[in-house]
Amino acid sequence: MRYYVSLDSAASSDSQPVEVDVTELPSGELQVRIGGELVDVDRVSLPGRGLISVRVDGQVVDLTTEGSPPDVGVVASGHRSYVRVVSERQRAADAAKKTGGGASEKILKSPMPGRVVKVLVQKGDEVAAGQPLLIIEAMKMENELRAKAPGTVADVHVTPGTAVEGGAKLVTFA
């Protein structure tokens, strides 16, 4: 299966997703190509929710994942990143449904369960792509959520101290 993977970062908002082809062999091993280049990869699910140990070209990294595809939070070596992983099928389905502006771009949802620490925008604010919107604390780490595209804040659905589940609606854009 082909996946399109991109880091969710203001600095890389114009970057193209990386193509990752994953094939599970009859032996259970994975054959992985990143950008067409064969990469030696193995993975093991560890006890606990969202814990995975991955070996890439001989280097082992333990990951904690949160959220669900396409938007996934990943913690590795104490660093948190957000990754968008879209399968080839999902990408084709999204392209078929798209009729201009997707509704998903107009709503910022929580990528993980947590507690809202700070709201940095209010109704009527104009925001730029990559601008911080709010801060959520999850797993004792503060996570800054940013605008994916420029727009106007139509509504803010949370206040500081609000506990949210993954996928909860946080901010709606006009």
Beta bridge partners of 109: 169
Q: pLDDT band for position 40 (50/70/90)?
A: very high
Give CA–CA dist 108/73, Å, rounded. Answer: 15
- pLDDT digit string, tens, across residues 8-32: 654 445 568 899 999 999 988 889 9
- Please give the CATH architecture assigned to the domain spanning 2-91: 2-Layer Sandwich (3.30)
Q: What is d(CA 172, CA 42) in angstroms, rounded to the nearest whole number?
A: 40
pTM for the structure as a whole: 0.52
Alpha-carbon gap, residue 36 to 57, rounded angstroms: 15
> pLDDT, tens digit, for every residue of 95-142?
766 644 444 568 999 888 899 999 999 999 999 988 999 999 988 888
Pairwise CA distance, residues 27 & 67, whole Å: 29
Q: Which two tokens stand for residue 174?
A: 């006009």
The class level of CATH for 102-173 reads mainly beta
pLDDT one-digit tens code per residue, 41-89: 988 888 877 788 989 888 998 988 888 888 888 888 888 888 888 888 8
| H helices present in the chain, as ranges | 88-97
Q: Measured between alpha carbons, how far is 10 from 128 in angstroms, rounded to an integer?
A: 10
How many C-beta neighbours within 10 Å does residue 65 have?
A: 17
Q: What is the pLDDT of residue 125?
A: 96
pLDDT of residue 10: 42
Same fold across 2-91 and 102-173: no
Count the neighbouring beta carbons within 10 Å of the beta carbon of residue 138. 21
Q: Where are the domains of the chain?
A: 2-91, 102-173
